[in-house]
Amino acid sequence: MENLVIDTTNATNVASLREAAGVTFPALTSRTDFDAVAEPIYMANAETGRAQKIDASIGRVIRRTDTAEALGIVGQRYGIAPNKPIFDMVCEGAEKTLPRHALAGIELKEFASYGGQYTRFELVFPGLGADIRQLNNSKTQLLFRVGVSNSFNGSGSVRVMAGAYDLVCTNGMVIGEAEKKAARHTSGYTPEIFAGFIEIEFAKYLERVRTWQAWARAEINPAQAEAALNAAGMSGRRVASMMEQFDAEAASRGRTVWALYSALTFYSSHNSERFGVRNSGNVDNEAVTLDQREREVSRVIGSEAWARLAA
């Protein structure tokens, strides 16, 4: 196998690379950076018709302060987790952990659904690129990324993930996830926790690149690919569409495990003609649907069927 292009010789731990080396992190926009408050719910009194406040033990409404839009009904113990403090902690964790050259040209991607009920931000590090040589000798480059998904409607906890971003097809790949569930679901998060997570996942990224390189050289036929998807529990209709995407990926990558993986990550990263997000033209549901697809793909990749295919 050829040498990887990742250079880790300059790895360092620095308290504040931002000041020492002029590191600049992109700023969140109002798409994910907003304040929210928990307010009482009111209903009409059956006798007077006047508004009557419902006890907080029954529920409260979460409202954005910038748009006044209601985001969800939550219980009395629910705690709001604004994205900005979490983002700042992720940035500080990256400063303390990643090689110095990784902190140049950092890119930010933001996603949201239902007016901010679901949000996600990702930091992509062009300085941490790895070339994958495919079966037909073409290359694709993967970049290290760290992301956080968060909800403001009581539907889930803060999720922190790490993975890679394929520059050629803009597919996103998740390789690690840390989840913190608490009544106030930012409880316990510190820059040190994020730094530790990023350090572990960066090491996994270096290992996983070697795995992906092996997948890019591991030839399979369509029957093997289809059997693996079925055995992993993917629905028949979805398998048929995935096999069409596998053919499209194989045209530029070769018929390999990597091409099948690219088909899966295309599905989880794109609202496309083949894998359309239902009713997304009328409902703001694309980001949250792709997040659900990403979890589905993670289950497939983690299955025994996939392990046998990739062995």
Same domain, 294 and 173: no
pLDDT of residue 14: 36
Q: Decide which of 158, 183, 214 is a domain's last residue.
A: 214
Global confidence as pTM: 0.83
Give the total number of structural domains in the chain: 3
Residue burial 113-141, b: 16+ Cβ < 10 Å; e: rest = bbebbbbbbbbbbebbbbbbebbeeeebe
Distance CA 288, CA 252 (A): 29
Q: Decide which of 214, 238, 257 is a domain's last residue.
A: 214
Q: What angle do CA 279, 285, 287 make, to 5 degrees?
A: 135
Same domain, 27 and 109: yes
Same domain, 65 and 203: no
Phi, psi of 178 (to 5 degrees): -120, 135
Same domain, 23 and 95: yes
pLDDT confidence band for 167 (50 / 70 / 90)? low
> In terms of residue numbers, what domain contains 243?
218-310
Same domain, 241 and 260: yes
pLDDT of residue 192: 79
Mean pLDDT of the chain: 85
Same domain, 210 and 225: no
Same domain, 27 and 161: yes
pLDDT tens-digit series, residues 197-228: 888 888 888 888 899 999 999 999 999 999 99
Q: Decide which of 174, 194, 214 is a domain's last residue.
A: 214
206 lies in some domain: yes
Same domain, 233 and 151: no
